């Protein structure tokens, strides 16, 4: 096994898929000469040339639309949107075209494209550049929405997204790019067939007292919470959703049946958030097993502040999640420190 950053896992896997399949190309703003705002496309222009590494104007609707058209004709575009906030400029192309073409035309053509885009707060980028608006897209049939939390997941899930015949929104939280983790030594080989199953969650850590559910950055934070509470003899089972559409309800419902209680942590706003759908699924699938109401920990219901202390206060973290877990366990009569 090798230890690498989340950023390197994405870059090396993207390159491997371009080597493996000549129909894969990348398109977006400043991804060629500048090598991308987050350096995921570093070195690709030099290796593959301008036909397969396409720098575009600042026109998200235009180049996402071009990618949709090229995917319909047999190519496999990987679009880089500088942030998920800018996807709002291309939302018609994503929702009304990429997601619907296969169904509207009776399966005569597919749209095998990936839209890679980072989001999330914590970087002091202000309210319009720090949003988690994946709910917009998770709501739409015809799209797949993936949210890896570790370098190993980033690699296997990007490989799955590129090879899939449906449009995939691939979420990369800004706070994860420099995080490190183990990956197989051959993760960057074009012949590697370690391809994730889209729509399958995973149990990142086994536990018995309570289920903690998260995705993307919050799945990573959830693991930190579990490690911290283990020192207080609280056994937390961590479920990493990995995919928001399709959503693997069975994995987290089975976990709640095992533990009897659940806390959901998410980087988006509480009202109408991803956690609401998870809570409803738990109520439907594990109601008779619940010892306490499902708790949710999410971002404050405000546009993201720029000032660092306020931004930190607005985001969920280890302390707020730990408090929710202890309060839930106390409510069901489990002794906590």
Residue 263 falls inside a structural domain: yes
**Do residue 160 and residue 67 come from a single domain?**
yes
Residue 231 among the catalytic residues: no
| Claim to verify: residue 156 and residue 211 sit in the same structural domain | no
> Residue 230 above 80 pLDDT?
yes
Distance (Å, whole) CA 165 – CA 158: 13
- 63 and 102: one domain? yes
Judge if 98 and 142 occupy the same domain. yes
Task: Let me know if residue 189 belongs to a domain.
Answer: no
302 domain residue, yes or no: yes
Catalytic residue among 29, 60, 277, 311: 60
Give the chain as a 3 state SS string: CEEEEHHHHHHHHHHHHHHHCCCEEEEECCCCCCCCCCCCCCCHHHHHCCCCEEECCCCHHHHHHHHHHHHHCCCEEEEECCCHHHHHHHHHHHHHHHCCHHHHCCCCCCCCCEEEEEECCCCCCCHHHCCCCHHHHHCCCCCEEECCCCHHHHHHHHHHHHHCCCCEEEEEEHHHCCCEEEECCCCCCCCCCCCCCCCCCEEEECCCCEEEEECCHHHHHHHHHHHHHHCCCCCEEEEECCEEECCCHHHHHHHHHHHCCEEEEEEEECCCCHHHHHHHHHHHHHHHHCCCCCEEEEECCCCCCCCHHHHHHHCCCHHHHHHHHHHHHHHCCCCCC
pLDDT digits (tens, 9 = 90+) for 51-91: 999 999 999 999 999 999 999 999 999 999 999 999 999 99
Active site residue 60: yes
Residue 238 near residue 223 (C-beta atoms within 8 A)? yes
Domain count, the chain: 2
pLDDT digit string, tens, across residues 183-216: 999 999 999 989 999 999 999 999 999 999 999 9
> Could you tell me if residue 210 is inside a domain?
yes
Same domain, 164 and 213: no
Residue 132: is its pLDDT beyond 80? yes
Region 160-165 average pLDDT: 98
Instruction: Please report, for the domain that includes residue 51, its CATH number.
Output: 3.40.50.970
Domain that holds residue 86: 2-183
Average pLDDT of span 301-328? 96
91-116 tens-digit pLDDT: 999 999 999 999 999 999 999 999 99
* CB 172 within 8 Å of CB 116: yes
Name the active-site residue from 17, 35, 97, 129: 129
User: If pLDDT is split at 50, 70 and 90, which confidence band does 337 have?
Assistant: low
Q: What is the pLDDT at residue 335?
A: 67
């Amino acid at each position: 096994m090798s230890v690498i950053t989340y950023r390197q896992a994405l870059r090396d896997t993207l390159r491997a898929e371009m080597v493996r399949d000549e129909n894969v190309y990348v398109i977006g703003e400043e991804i060629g000469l500048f090598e991308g705002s987050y350096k995921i496309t570093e070195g690709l222009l030099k290796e593959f040339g301008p036909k397969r590494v396409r720098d575009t104007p600042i026109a998200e609707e235009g180049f996402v639309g071009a990618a949709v058209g090229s995917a319909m004709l047999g190519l496999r575009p990987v679009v880089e949107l500088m942030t998920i906030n800018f996807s709002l400029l291309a939302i018609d192309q994503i929702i009304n075209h990429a997601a619907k073409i296969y169904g509207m035309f009776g399966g005569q053509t597919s749209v095998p494209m990936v839209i890679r885009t980072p989001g999330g707060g914590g970087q002091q980028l202000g309210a319009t550049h720090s949003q988690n608006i994946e709910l917009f897209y998770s709501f739409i049939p015809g799209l797949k929405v993936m949210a890896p939390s570790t370098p190993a997941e980033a690699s296997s899930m990007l490989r799955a997204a590129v090879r899939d015949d449906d449009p995939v929104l691939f979420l990369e939280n800004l706070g994860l790019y420099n995080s490190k983790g183990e990956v197989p030594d051959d993760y960057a080989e074009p012949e590697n067939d370690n391809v994730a199953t889209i729509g399958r969650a995973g149990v990142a850590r086994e536990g018995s007292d309570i289920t903690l559910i998260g995705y993307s950055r919050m799945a990573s934070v959830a693991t930190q919470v579990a490690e911290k509470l283990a020192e207080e003899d609280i056994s937390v089972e961590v479920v990493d959703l990995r995919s928001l559409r399709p959503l693997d309800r069975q994995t987290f419902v089975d976990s709640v049946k095992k533990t009897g209680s659940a806390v959901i942590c998410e980087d988006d706003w509480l009202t109408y958030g991803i956690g609401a759908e998870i809570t409803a699924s738990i109520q439907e699938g594990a109601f008779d097993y619940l010892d306490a109401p499902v708790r949710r920990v999410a971002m404050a219901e405000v546009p993201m502040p720029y000032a660092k202390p306020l931004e930190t206060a607005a985001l969920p973290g280890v302390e707020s999640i730990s408090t929710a877990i202890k309060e839930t366990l106390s409510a069901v009569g489990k002794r906590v420190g």
